[in-house]
Structure 1
């Protein structure tokens, strides 16, 4: 292709597009013209990129296309309404759509944790692998309970640690290996700790200390695992969508889940930092944890079902995701 001749033929159209993109105010007809010229310039960019990839021409036309798109879509200013839409529609819809993945991860986690606990509690060689008798006694009689030291510092540490675990679980979801590895590792560790406590007759202490915050904390880990596996399955089976579009849509919804889990884990960290290690009666502590968990599932199921029925998925709106542009007139 003769690039100079192509640029000469299309130059007037590009100049007109540049003038329209730079205007602060446009009439309806000008807005429609801007959209048409933008679409034409985007096609020109694709042609040049594939047939005559001159760096200077590509850079100049890419900037024009990007500037034109910004003029069409416009700048979006965050508002309280955006926050309300996120909390009331996007997040519950995203959580609702992966609810069965979450439940599946939860069932697998609990089965593996129970198996690991029973194995450590009943098999002498497995118990011996947890440390020397002196180390086990120190853990059971002192270290496990002292870990839950009430206070803002402890709550912040717990939130940071759990946020890191869930972030890695979600970020590695596309591999299919990362979420499974993290869930299996967590399940075995939790089960083995419970098994050692049970072997020393302190299973009740283990359950009392882990239940208040663990109900919500572990559920957040299950959600992260479910979200990660959902994106992996989308890669395997995108359904009627193209694989690229399916991954983009589910990836943005997964990002919505990741942001929501920051808040969920913050609540869990507050419970662990101020309730678990407090002087409250154990039934009250566990009841607080149960109420927090019930509130989460009510939020997910009630608001999530309503949002999904209204068409929400947790993804961006089509115009912000790049699948549609506004047309005036």
Structure 2
């Protein structure tokens, strides 16, 4: 390749990118152009490094891309376009790509909950060893139902969101170790199984499911998604496939970060349902219907938007151009 001719052909594009980087405040159109110019110059850098390596030119373009990346990230984070891309493409694509992990986690946990509740109902002595008889009446007649109306709805929604977000965050953060995720999930479903068996034994099963299902469907799904993603992160270094272990862990770690950020919004929705719908005066069927609707919307989000985004090449990982730039600046 004739390097001088290549520089002459593309110098104006590099100059334009440099001009955009140096502009203090960009308009919406200029922000879009910055991203497009960034991708173009990243391609130019790749061509130069492969076909006609020149240390000074590679250094210049790498530096230009580094500054452009910082500018683009700062611009796009605060833009609606970046938010739209995340929630309509990256997040649902990540959920769709990892669907078998979190669907498997969901199925196993649901089965375990059902088996545990059935076993506890058949062995009341075990249940009594977990909850003292003196506390059962208080739980059945007052505490369980009162829990949902103890605080103001807005305060309760925030409290629920923080608690569930913490559980989900732990599942993802400890996923690299594998076993802690299993422990967290087991502890979570054990509490649910014990409460369910206690309420059912005392003829309060209808109340239990009427208060759990409206928000619990979406809430537990989000927790199981986090658990599945955490286990996938663990498996990424156990069986990296065609990638090196470092590359595999890095890829799944970035995808896990995408899912974690998206689950913040999912858990916020379940928190609002738990605070405003679960304790409301609506008929039980209506409250459960709202919970089922929220769950169906989530699955449609994954298997319609997520599948379409995956077909367009999204995986939940960061943009390939950003990764290429990162490699270039390290060379």
Corresponding position of 2:192: 190
Q: How many residue pairs align between the two structures?
A: 282
**TM-score using structure 2 length:** 0.78
Q: Aligned-pair distance for 1:200? A: 1.2
* Distance in structure 1 (CA, Å) of the matches to 2:69 and 2:128: 64
Point out where structure 2 has 5 or more consecutive residues left out of the alignment.
1-13, 21-39
Bigger helix fraction: 2
Structure 1 unaligned residues grouped into runs of 5+: 1-19, 42-63
Q: How does 1:247-286 map to 2 (within 5 A)?
A: 247-286=249-288
Q: Which residue does 1:51 correspond to in 2? A: none
CA distance in 2, matches of 1:233, 1:295: 29
**Which residue does the alignment assign to 2:71?**
75
Aligned counterparts, 1:9-24, within 5 A: none
Match of 1:134 in 2: 134
Does structure 2 retain, via aligned residues, the 8 Å contact 1:213–1:272?
A: yes
Which whole-Å CA distance do the structure 2 matches of 1:38 and 1:159 have between them?
Answer: 51
Q: Is the 8 A contact 1:174 1:228 kept in 2?
A: yes
- 1:200/1:242 Cα in 2 relative to 1: closer, same or farther (>3 Å)? same
Aligned to 1:244: 246
The 5 A counterparts of 1:111-260 are 111-149=111-149, 151-260=153-262
| 1:290 corresponding residue in structure 2 | 292
Compute the displacement of 1:40 (Å). 6.9
Per-residue Cα deviation, 1:285-317 (whole angstroms, up to 9, x for no partner): 000000000000000000111111111001111
| CA distance, structure 2, for counterparts of residue 72 and residue 154 of structure 1 | 43
Q: Residues 140 and 200 of structure 1 are in contact (CA less than 8 Å); yes or no, is this contact kept in structure 2?
A: yes
CA distance in 2 between partners of 1:256 and 1:74 (Å): 19
The DSSP-based 3-state class of the residue aligned with 1:147 is helix
Which 4+ residue blocks in structure 1 deviate beyond 6 angstroms?
31-35, 38-41
CA distance in 1 between counterparts of 2:282 and 2:124 reads: 36
Match of 1:104?
Answer: 104
Partner SS state of residue 316, structure 2: coil
Structure 1 vs Structure 2 CA RMSD? 2.9
Does the CA contact (< 8 Å) of 1:95 and 1:304 recur in 2? yes
1:159-185 Cα deviation digits (max 9, x unpaired): 000000000111111111121111111
* Conserved? CA contact 1:174–1:231, under 8 Å: yes
**2:227 and 2:123 mapped to 1: Cα distance?**
30
